[in-house]
Structure 1
Amino acid sequence: MSPPAIPSREEIHQWLLDFHSTSAALDAENYVDKFFTPTATIHFGNLPPVSGRENILAMFTQTFAALDSMEHEVVHFDIVPGTGRVYQAADITYVVKGDPKREVFTVRGLAVCDWPEEAEGEGGVMRAQRMQIFLDPSAVFARMGEVAAARAGAGV
């Protein structure tokens, strides 16, 4: 099996921008179907990998439901020549849904994305087969827990 043809740097950059703007809409189904193969695997840090469309969709549905907003700013990215692999650093800004303080959390992350040989989905959009994401969202998740506990204590 030969490595996939790699798009130009400009095409990869545009894909990253589209990938992040689609995730910012917090529509898990559209995001997963547009940007991941049906057999994709996502691996967040030391958590167990999540594989397959339904499991990935469930993960993003749960996460997106707890967010009011999520924005990514691409800091830089590198393409590994002769492979379908891109490394990307980004600053991700989160606001937790229902947070009366509307506290903004910015987390630096690094993602490694692999595309299979035939990675195009509907409309010719490249879809990831494997993604490894390295970040520490603990402050965001802690705030999600605080907001949920406050809502539960208020009977909401």
Structure 2
Amino acid sequence: MHRILLSVFLWLFCICGIPKVQGQGSITFAGGTIQSDSLSVSFSAGEVVSGTFSNSSIQLTTGFSNGGDNVFVSNERLADDIPSTFRLKQNYPNPFNPSTNIAYDLPEKADVRLEVFNIIGAKVATLVQKQKPAGSHVARFDAASLASGMYLYRLTADGNLISTKKMLLIK
């Protein structure tokens, strides 16, 4: 069985091409090694390799890469994933029965408060009241115990009013 798998992997390796490493280095089957005058990194299949390479003459290449189908996995947020402004979005669905989702964006960590009011201004629910990290968030509002009608929801972050929007509950 191992010989069959090895044959298949070698065949795929030949189709994908031999990976190229700039500088003095070599890539091994399903793993890799990279070397330069001041750096040496070796890794095997399934091993996590992380770090920052600031030397423009060093390129880290892994086995079985054709350059177009790499999937990068990280627990770090990319800068593009973080919204640039505070934003309260329109709930969905709207009108709703009996529950709806309320989405909001935070460009930075903030103490968030998301509250729901009836049309005469009485608070009927506090959906979020805690510190939240930067990013996009969604809160679910269940209005099963409330009467049909217009409701308002308000987002504040670090004590500053961000926005207030309307939503319609139809039973």
When normalised by structure 1's length, the TM-score is 0.24
Larger-gyration structure (1/2): 2
When normalised by structure 2's length, the TM-score is 0.23
Structure number with higher helix proportion: 1
